[in-house]
Chains A and B, each alone.
Chain A
Amino acid sequence: MNPTIAMITFRAMLGRRRALLLFGLPLVLLAMAAALRFTDLADLDTTATILQRFGIATLLPLLALIAGTGVIGPEIDDGQIMYVLTKPIPRQVIVLTKLVVAIVLVTLFATVPTLVAGLLMSGMTAQLAPAFAAGVLVGGIAYSALFVALAVVSRNAVTIGLLYALVWESLLGNFAPGARSASVQQWALSVTDALTDASVVRSTVDLPLAAALLALVTAAGTALAVVRLRSLTVASAE
């Protein structure tokens, strides 16, 4: 961890109007939760549906994509990363710092809102809210590592990430169940499934396998990012 890099990255992510985008996304979830709470429509089924569709399937990949690629992608693109790389700081420290910043952002803007929305709608019933928050947290860590690695490897990181998160996980998942099991979303859901007594949450992957895969993806993503950052060629900005 390098505090200076962390601070610069935080400032780049949250400076000026950019923070509005990050604040706006969870706000929709919270507003919806509050509206359901006040109209008394928030039973356990509804809560689970909303937290799953909105929390895990929309907010989590979207924020992880913004945070994961945003912490390092723009710097590589405009060549600013050179000012960091030419300092005597090990590459793994740079990658770890960027990854930690991404995880903190995802936690702040996805995990905490999911927890609050869950508590708003159904309190502590069946441990649903904390279970979903835990799922979003572990999913967020894996997604962040994946997207940081993607941002180091490719300049089209955001698009590739979108293709994975939307086409692979959602679209193909509906046609091919095999593709559905190979997705961070399902593994996160599996963690949630294990932590709650509610029967409405169901994952296609068993917990031990999901946990192992989550750890594997996180480690592999971080390692790949470090290796690729060691031999980064900075092309001129287009």
Chain B
Amino acid sequence: MTVSTIHDIGYRHYEGRRLGRGYVLRSLFVHNLRAAYGLGRPARAKVMPFLLLAVMMLPSVGSVAAVAITKEPRGLIPYAAYANILQVVIAIFLATQAPVLASRELRFHVVPLYFSRPVGHLDFVLAKLAAMTTALLALLTLPVTLLYVGGLVTKVPDSGEHLVRYLTALVGCALFAVVLASIGLVVSAFTPRRGFGVAAVIAVYMLSSAFVVIVQGLAEMRTNFTLAGWVGLLTPFNLVDIVQVRLLGAPRSSAAMPEGTLAGMVALAVCAALVAGSTAVLYARFRKAGLS
């Protein structure tokens, strides 16, 4: 006959130091930022982000090389136009990496595990948003910085003006990054199935830009330049470019855009609404996923 006993090991509270909200935010941010470039994951996950980063750098390397050889400062790609010229590559980066941040935990139903710890819903979403923004910012600013440094090394004239333009482009890049990150995360948070998130993000980009290009073409054919300019608000790259050009005074690189500072203010308001709206939607989405 076996005798079973119940041992009273007591319930012990944790009385050590709590690391707090800032620590939670920072940990989630670093984890998501590493995930965005596949760091800490198998080599297979690193191939695509770094390949796209390399593709992103190529034109700037070529441009600097061309300036160094020909001594023709106009060969340097305008800093603020860089993101617009390479928007396809940026969109593919967003499409492949946003689902890594926003869909994987939903697909494997592990979101409740996060919220069983002292992690706030808003902190969780903000960390993801900040991580994706930082990842995109790195992708956008590295080639632009290379252009600027290359220009300094090859002694392009008007270095003061170049510095101003470079700083302007950095502000533009930050806006590009935050707007694109919020769109990408929202879309991929609603398409958790593997492969579908990528397709959905790229679909949003391609459909919006194809729509805008067609409407702009039709409007310009009928000399309705007002419509051609304002419809640019509907696609992310044109939207941010309007802010860059109308508020920051960057040289324009989009096919058409509305005139005046007011247009820039409207575009900036649309950007702000997009980011705020996306945060709210992501908050609701992950809150619901955390309950199941």
Contacts and interface: CB of A to CB of B under 8 A. Distances in A.
Contacts of B289: none
Nearest to A155: B44
Interface in A166-203: 166-167, 170-171
Contacts, number: 92
Contact of B96 (A54, A73, A78, A159): A159
B194 A78 contact: yes
Contacts of A77: 194-195
B194 A162 contact: no
Given A62-B202, A155-B44, A158-B195, A54 B92 contact: no
A148 interface: no
B177 interface: no
A41 B224 CA distance: 13
Give the dominant DSSP class at B's interface. Answer: helix
A206 to B, nearest CB: 27
Range class of the A interface residue count: 35 or more
B199 interface: yes
Interface residues of B, number: 33
A32 B214 contact: yes
Given A49-B214, A163-B92, A21 B194 contact: no
B48 A238 contact: no
A156 B48 contact: yes
Given A46-B218, A58-B206, A158 B193 contact: no
B88 A66 contact: no
B217 interface: yes
Contact of B214 (A53, A156, A162, A163): A53
A21 B207 contact: no
Interface in B161-211: 190-191, 193-196, 198-200, 202-203, 206-207, 210-211
Contacts of A163: 92
A28 interface: yes
B47 interface: yes
Contacts of A136: none
A65 interface: yes
A73 B194 contact: yes
A158 B203 CA distance: 12
Nearest to A28: B207
Contact of A159 (B48, B88, B190): B48
A21 B47 CA distance: 28
B203 A21 contact: yes
Nearest to A69: B195
Q: List 10 tightest A-B contacts by C-beta distance, closest first.
A: A58-B210, A158-B198, A66-B199, A159-B96, A74-B194, A166-B88, A158-B195, A73-B195, A159-B48, A162-B92
Interface of A: 17-18, 21, 24-25, 28, 32, 36, 41, 46, 49-50, 53-54, 57-58, 62, 65-66, 69-70, 73-74, 77-78, 155-159, 162-163, 166-167, 170-171, 238
